[in-house]
Amino acid sequence: MADPDSATEVHGTVAVPGRVNGTDPDAIVAQIERTRESLAQTIDSLAERVSPAATARRLRERAVEEVARPEVRLVLAAVGVAVVGLTVLRIWGKRRR
């Protein structure tokens, strides 16, 4: 069974022995401040991950990277030529009637 007087620090999901003495108020306050700072950083990180603006920025950056690839540019050019060609054929076909 764990010793109730021993101090532990939690890192991730694993509790490890800490240096905080349960009877020293200054050490407890310092530990609380470190925990608050760590929690604030975690919340900021999570907020950045789920922010719609950040998500849009990441998607835009990924799209720019993909379009820069030569094979993607070739496919986009082929699709563009096909769309223009079909449009011209449709217009030309309607004029002949």
Residue range 9-39, pLDDT digits in tens: 555 554 455 555 567 888 899 999 999 999 9
Q: Which residues contact 12 (CB under 8 A, 6 or more apart)?
A: none
For 37-94, the pLDDT digits (tens) are 999 999 999 998 888 998 999 999 999 999 999 999 999 999 999 999 999 999 998 8
Looking at the domain assignment, is residue 89 inside a domain? Answer: no
Q: Is 70 among the domain residues?
A: no
Asked whether residue 84 is assigned to any structural domain, the reply reads no
Q: Rounded to two decimals, what is the model's pTM? A: 0.41
Q: How many domains does the chain have?
A: 1
3-state secondary structure (DSSP) of residue 86: helix
Domain that holds residue 16: 1-50
| Long-range contacts at 67-72 (CB < 8 A, ≥ 24 apart) | none
